[in-house]
Structure 1
Amino acid sequence: MATGECGKDDLLEENRTDSGIDSYRSILKSEEPREPSSDFSGPRDKFSSGEERLDSAYGSSSITVESLSEIVEDCTLSSASEEQAQTSELSEQDNLLTTITEEGDTILHLAIIHEDKFIAQELIQLFPKEVLDIQNNLYQSPLHLATYLNLTDVVKGLVGRGVSLDLQDQDGNTALHVACHHGQTECATEMTRDVSPSKLVPILETQNWRGLACLHLAALNRQHHILKILMKKGADLNIQEGTSGKTALHLAVELHDVTSVKLLLSRGANVDAAMFNGCTPLHLAVGRQDAAIAHLLCQSGADTMLRNMEDETALDLADGNDDILALFPFDDIQISGRSVVGVKF
């Protein structure tokens, strides 16, 4: 993307939700380093590398599942009269609940990382919305983490409390980006189910720092069910990713993903959409010698005469492939100096 590193940092700082409780920040020091438990499987395996770690506090925080349970059990919601009496200061209990670790995690972040759904749900009801939206040092909100780990009930609880869906992590991904990338269909459903179009469309158009919108990620990862969800919710099928101008249809063609190509075309994706270099999906299909997808595109009305910035039509890229040449209605003529005399149709 054209945005420089400084620009990205500025955007992160502007978009990051502040804890609003800095005066109560109490850093939790590690007692002893701990490795993730042996049953750390499923979605978490995706974050075992440094590139997409879930959270460094998982291995270093002295807070355990047991201590989380004790904290929550000791916390009860104040009655209306008690709340009025405590407006001038936070109670000792509140201080504990608003503690943030060195990695920027709240107790809710940690409950989600430990996959303790019960405690997470209790905290979701206990915390005000502002705390539910706190982002850790990796700019991950609780919703990001719950989506990474495919904790659908927790995602539902967070969305029900009205958490912000537009928060972006350090890679520019919203929680919906995460769902599209990792195929968390149920999480994507919860995040889009009851959201008004005016609020959802801007999120669907948000691009991460690689220039990818949710629809691009769904296409890149062959998430057909999520593609259907995004289409139903009004995603722009012709939105271009920020590096080369590809639409989801271009990406599906590159992957030889016939299912996605059919889905996109059936919902009205522009069959002749051009990348920044002028290549249409048909250019890509022919260049990759994919006669089946080239046929689908032609059936959907692809213009065979469009030229890219190299002044090439799709036929110029056919490279003598008879199956592809048979798709073009030319005979006894030359195109771009290439003879097609004798081609059998």
Structure 2
Amino acid sequence: MSASFHDYQGSVTGGEVRDPRKDKVMNTEDRIDSGLDSLKEDEYMAIIEEIDRFKISNQPDMSGYEPEPWKKQVNEDGDTFLHLAIIHEEKYLAGEAIRNSYQDVSYLNQINNLHQTALHLAVITEQQEISQLLLQTGCDPELRDFHGDTPLHIACKQGSLRGVGVIVQYGAKHLPTLLKTVNYDGHTCLHLAAIHGFLAIVERLIQLGADINAQEPCNGRTALHMAVDLQNAELMSLLLKRGADVNRVTYQGYSPCQLTWGRSNLLIQKQLVEVTQKNLQYLPESEEEDGSDSECEYLDEEIYDDCKIGGWRLN
């Protein structure tokens, strides 16, 4: 597989993958210590040597498979060698570890203490070529971290159109499930893109089949309700153009139009009033004031007229 990789200093090498070990030896702390209790230098070098010795065929025999010792190395944060290589953006080492773990889904999908897989970390660090390689070798994009986020959730939250594109292209068979999956806050990928105002991602997700009227399980807001809450006129216009249901109500019975009252952007209100059915344009009438006043008078006269202090009734 021919691909362009960035070296550890950020420069790009073309078809050839640059081996950083052939360069001038760097300070070990600068290269592998991120404050996550990374592997010690002797362990690190031993793993590199073992990767070099390990050879795989195009169709590996996984029967009776015993993981190589370097795959068993885990630090106190639960990070494997692959996790650490991605965290430190050591693309050459990450690529070698992935290629030498072809179809070893147990290792590729191993999670750290934050329930992050290697794919989560590759998306977080914007290393799309590593994300692609992981997906091509069997990494599962449906696994969720401690927030309940899949890698696609993270890409949408970060506004990474390229990150979304890699997952969509190389994890296509998982896409229907990914678009429906909610994180532990009840948000779909579309919700997150809408909340953060990433219009290009919102439009792309809708094109891919995301439910534009999906409701949060906690209060029933749709992306259109969120656009009103955020007072984002551009997002609202995009959602209306793409067919969002203006008459969909929250679990408390409020339409997007009803949520515009009391807010500053009158343009949003005007647009929604024009397309919302009449009974959902205005807020419900409040309880009759006279009734509430009489109830208060009743409470004052009837409930609190028997108070006593020292056996004497209060006037």
* TM more than 0.5: yes
Alignment of structure 1 residues 152-301 onto 2, 5 Å: 152-196=128-172, 199-299=174-274, 301=275
Q: Determine helix, strand or coil for the equivalent of 1:281.
A: coil
Residue number in structure 2 paired with 1:311? 284
Offset at residue 253 of structure 1 (A): 1.3
Superposition deviation, residue 150 in structure 1: 1.3
Q: Which runs of 5+ in 2 are unaligned?
A: 1-28, 287-315
CA distance in 1, matches of 2:168, 2:65: 38
What SS class does the counterpart of residue 35 from structure 2 fall into?
helix
Contact 2:212 2:222 in 1 (8 A): yes
Do the aligned partners of 1:68 and 1:119 also contact (CA within 8 Å) in 2? Answer: no
Question: How far did 1:143 drift?
Answer: 0.9
Question: Partner residue of 1:113?
Answer: 87
What amino acid is aligned across from residue 78 of structure 2 in structure 1?
Answer: G
Determine if the alignment matches structure 1 residue 145 to structure 2 residue 118. no
**For 1:78, which of 34, 47, 55 is the aligned residue?**
55
- How far apart are the structure 1 equivalents of 2:88 and 2:56? 30
Amino acid at match of 2:284: D
In the alignment, is the contact (CA less than 8 A) between 1:192 and 1:200 conserved in 2? Answer: yes
Contact 1:72–1:122, Cα closer than 8 Å, also in 2: no
Q: RMSD in angstroms over aligned alpha carbons?
A: 2.9
One-letter code of the match for 1:115? E
Deviates further, 228-237 or 58-67: 58-67
Please list the CA deviations of residues 112-168 of structure 1 after superposition, one character each: whole Å capped at 9, or x if unmatched. 111112211111111122211111111111111111111111111112223211111
Counterpart residue number, 2:76: 102
Contact 2:257 2:280 in 1 (8 A): no
**How many residues matched?**
253
SS of the residue 1:215 aligns to: helix
Structure 1 residues 189 and 79: alpha-carbon distance in aligned structure 2, compared to 1, 3 A threshold? closer
Question: Contact 1:65–1:111 (CA<8 Å) still a contact in 2?
Answer: no
Task: Give deviations 1:293-339, integer Å, cap 9, x for gaps.
Answer: 1222244x21232278x7349xxxxxxxxxxxxxxxxxxxxxxxxxx
Q: Tell me if structure 2 keeps the 8 A contact 1:272–1:303.
A: yes
- Contact residue 72 and residue 123 of structure 1 kept, 8 A: no
Residue 305 of structure 1 aligns to a residue whose secondary structure is: helix
Which residue identity lines up with residue 311 of structure 1 in the other structure?
A: P
Higher-RCO chain (CA-CA 8 Å, sequence separation at least 6): 1
Q: Which moved more, 1:134-143 or 1:64-73?
A: 64-73
Q: Is the contact between residue 144 and residue 151 of structure 2 (CA under 8 Å) also seen in structure 1?
A: yes
Unmatched runs of 5 consecutive residues or more in structure 1: 1-35, 40-56, 314-345
Aligned residues of 2:38 and 2:84 also touching (Cα < 8 A): no
TM-score by length of 1: 0.66
Q: Quote the residue 2:4 is aligned against.
A: none
1:134 aligned onto 2:110: yes
